[in-house]
Amino acid sequence: MNYLSEAKDLQGKRAVVRIDCDVDLRKEGGRLVVDEDFRLRSAIPTINYLKAQKVEKIILLGHLGRPKDQEQELSLSPICEWFDKNVSNCSLIKLNELLHVSSSNFGIVENLRYDKGEENNSSEFAKKLSLLGDICINEAFGVSHRDHASITGLKQYLPYYLGIRFEGEMASLNWLKKEAPRPIVSVLGGSKDDKLKYIDFLSSWSDKVLLGGKLPSMIKNVPDNIVVAKLNKEGKDITRESIMDFKKHIGEAKTILWAGPMGVYEEDHNSLGSYEIAKTVAETKAFKVAGGGDTHRILSRLNLWNSFNYVSVGGGAMLYFLKKNTLAVLD
């Protein structure tokens, strides 16, 4: 796979850049605006690099949420406004106008998941997207374990490069997997059952795996080095007893990998586990790595970004890459 940092002769070319813009929005003055913007900021080094190389046009691609139709609240309009404010004049390109893009030199295509061809990896949809540029850059590490049109499909039609941040993600996670000091403690949470498929890997790689969130109610076979939290009566947070147990193991670690909340942290009365574990990890002297959308939100709420050595833009993609040493886009 080619890296953008090694690309030559980009001047005058049109660049299609797949970014990860699946971020939180909030209402402000009756309209939706970007709330937590870590994933958007992660794309800026690649955008700046392309500008420095004097590309003619930059067209961003991305998705927001899991739309069933074309819900207005999942439009990328707030994302476009964020880039307009933080990078340069940005125009929103509707999906039915892909073949008639204006002369604007910086824009973002409307939510790709409005079209079923994105998640179905439709070759027709991928080809239509490819007409927007001369080269494609993938700066969406967080969704690059997905076999979607804008991720793997575009590889068939355009010269393809991995972005600046993407290259850094791979280098950081490769170091983590091979050279991280022991003991290693992995803290796994959240509500998605697909995280269960990483437990065998984490159990073999880590000295201890601490399991919280909804996962304790899902797991059946428990390896010896996995500590499964007890949940409160609602099943929405880990108990105080489990918080203390987790803190003890975290305090013994020299490397900590954290992916996913310990409960339904959005509800104040179920946020204790997530917040206490996050602060405990942040306060240790261990090498600390975190990843995932919910994890990003907790870091923002507690202002803990600077307490971590590395934060991945993805949660599922981070675990996928650590386990398999690859991603769908790399195969």
Tell whether 329 is covered by a domain: no
Same domain, 147 and 179: no
Average pLDDT over residues 51-70: 95
Instruction: Tell me: pLDDT of 69 over 90.
Output: no
Give yes or no for a cis peptide into 159 (omega within 30° of 0): no
Domain end point (choices 111, 134, 164): 164
Same domain, 138 and 261: no
Q: What is the pLDDT of residues 319-331, one digit of tens each?
A: 999 999 999 899 8
**What's the confidence (pLDDT) of residue 5?**
93
Domain that holds residue 58: 2-164
- As a whole number, the mean pLDDT across the chain is 95
Average pLDDT over residues 79-94: 95
Same domain, 224 and 255: yes
Instruction: Tell me: pLDDT of 102 over 70.
Output: no
Tell whether 330 is covered by a domain: no
Place of tokens 């970014």: 19
Instruction: Tell me: pLDDT of 173 over 80.
Output: yes
Q: What is the pLDDT of residues 264-313, one digit of tens each?
A: 999 999 999 999 999 999 999 999 999 999 999 999 999 999 999 999 99
* CATH at residue 300: 3.40.50.1260
Nearest residue to 231 (alpha-carbon basis) of 270, 203, 197:
270
Report percent pLDDT > 70 for the chain: 99
Same domain, 8 and 147: yes
Instruction: Name 236's Cβ contacts closer than 8 Å, sequence gap at least 6.
Output: 263, 264, 267, 270
Number of domains present in the structure of the chain: 2
Band of residue 188 on the pLDDT scale cut at 50, 70, 90 = very high
Same domain, 251 and 160: no
- Separation of alpha carbons 234 and 232, rounded Å: 5
Instruction: Tell me: pLDDT of 243 over 90.
Output: yes
**What's the confidence (pLDDT) of residue 76?**
98
Average pLDDT over residues 13-31: 95
User: How many angstroms separate the Cα of 265 from the Cα of each of 23, 59, 214, 270?
Assistant: 17, 36, 12, 5
**What's the confidence (pLDDT) of residue 103?**
64
Same domain, 34 and 137: yes
Band of residue 99 on the pLDDT scale cut at 50, 70, 90 = confident
